[in-house]
A = this chain, B = another copy of it.
Amino acid sequence: MSAPLRIGVAGLGTVGGGVVSLLNDNRSSIAERCGRDIEIVAVSARDQSKDRGTDHGSAKWCDIADLPKLDDVDVIVELIGGDDGPAKILVEGALSAGKPVVTANKALIAIHGVALARQAESAGVPLLFEAAVAGAIPIIKALRESLAGNKFQRVYGILNGTCNYILTKMEQTGRTFDDVLSEAQELGYAEADPSFDVDGIDTAHKLAILTSAAFGRAVDFDSVHVEGIRQISAPDIAYAAELGYRIKLLGIAQMTDHGVEQRVHACMVPIASPIAHVDDAYNAVVAEGDRAGRTVFEGQGAGAGPTASAVVGDIMDIARGHIGAPFGVPVASFRDIPPASMDRHVGPYYVRMTVLDQPGVMADIAAVLRNHAASMESVLQRGRSPGEAVSLIMTMHDTVEASMRDAVDEIAALDSCQETPCLIRIEHFS
């Protein structure tokens, strides 16, 4: 058996604790599987005095700034988080010192991934981040290695467990977003400041990384179109069910004639599609390759165990001596695919309007839609209350996003329209 692989772990929160306990508990089977022991020789955390209940054995405490400099540390494991500050300084320092890095930090990789990958490639060391996307699901390795012979047309997924939990609970109970969010916060499933999750930013970080791994293109977080789920209402969920859909917050990366579309928003997905059945805090990713066809990966997207599973998988790859470009394709060979503007997105839509039940309303709306080349697929009006406000539900055939938005703005301005219409994109996944 070769010499042990000696690691330094920065950050001993939920994930760091999970990594330490996994390496302790499964020590011998891990050593058998990678041909050498994995030893934690140094740890670093903000507060050294805090009792975390994890046993990091004989590992020495050290200042985070010293971690990359330690001669007896072979690999740096960054579990601090945040796209800037100590995490970034640590990862840059480690790569500068020619040390492999494993990180679970999606913000860091989504925003600084290209520069860090370039640094890792010139140092000739691995930079691995399986845990940054969809927790235990090994999607980065699948795109980078297992399915790497494919060209991908589309990659999409449920990438945020908090949003999926909230949408699942809203559907099951008929309660409002605010109500379910409060409960999720009490149960510890949502943060006190939930905006990172419910406004789609976390999903967008993960999508940017997935896009790069799938399409061999520079990570480009700034081009991601990002919407969250705050505007989703109980009636939308009920109408979705009636129309044969469920509502999920998805991250979608798709090749189009105009470049690669990266978008994060709530979608109606067909009830028969695999992604419609991914509930609660589970994550799922679907990759559509030219040879493999549709491959679906589902698993736990967060938490100590699932995230540690991914981190340790990466460490074991380094222990085996595996190496490759962080995003599969080396930075120098990245394909020059432009981002596609969201305005040019084409797809079907669901529109829920609140209008006065009076003669001529439908004609006005139909005229607006016709003027914007938006073609109705179905119309639903529940109940009749002449002179009162009623819900009018439409689904549209494939329409250009910019036209659809203009049409909805014009409808909103009609005298008969009582509320801002609610627009939700429909995705026709098989």
Contact = CB atoms under 8 A, between A and B. Distances in A.
Interface of A: 18, 22-23, 25-26, 29-30, 32-35, 130, 136-138, 141-142, 144-151, 216, 274, 277-278, 289-300, 305-306, 308-310, 312-313, 316-317, 320-325, 328-330, 333
6 contacts: A23-B149, A26-B150, A30-B148, A149-B316, A289-B309, A322-B322
B146 A32 contact: no
A216 B29 contact: yes
Nearest first, the 4 A-B pairs at minimum CB distance are A138-B146, A149-B312, A136-B292, A295-B299
Contacts of A312: 148-149, 291
Contacts of A300: 292-295
B313 A298 contact: no
A306 B324 contact: no
B294 A297 contact: no
Q: Copy number of this protein in the oligomer?
A: 2
Contacts of A316: 145, 148-149
Q: Is chain A's interface secondary structure helix, strand, loop, or mixed overall?
A: mixed
A400 to B, nearest CB: 30
Given A33-B328, A313-B147, A305 B293 contact: yes
Contacts of A289: 136, 309
Contact of A310 (B18, B146, B325): B146
A328 B26 CA distance: 15
A340 to B, nearest CB: 20
A146 B313 contact: yes
Contacts of A147: 136, 138, 309, 313
A134 to B, nearest CB: 10
A309 B32 contact: no
Contact of A34 (B148, B297, B320, B321): B148
A311 to B, nearest CB: 8
A306 B292 contact: yes
A320 B149 CA distance: 13
A106 to B, nearest CB: 17
Contacts of A299: 292-296
A154 to B, nearest CB: 15
A136 B293 contact: yes
B22 A291 contact: yes
A353 to B, nearest CB: 34
B309 A291 contact: yes
Nearest to A33: B148
Contact of A297 (B30, B277, B296): B296
A10 to B, nearest CB: 19
A290 B305 contact: yes
A258 to B, nearest CB: 21
A23 B277 CA distance: 35
Nearest to A279: B272
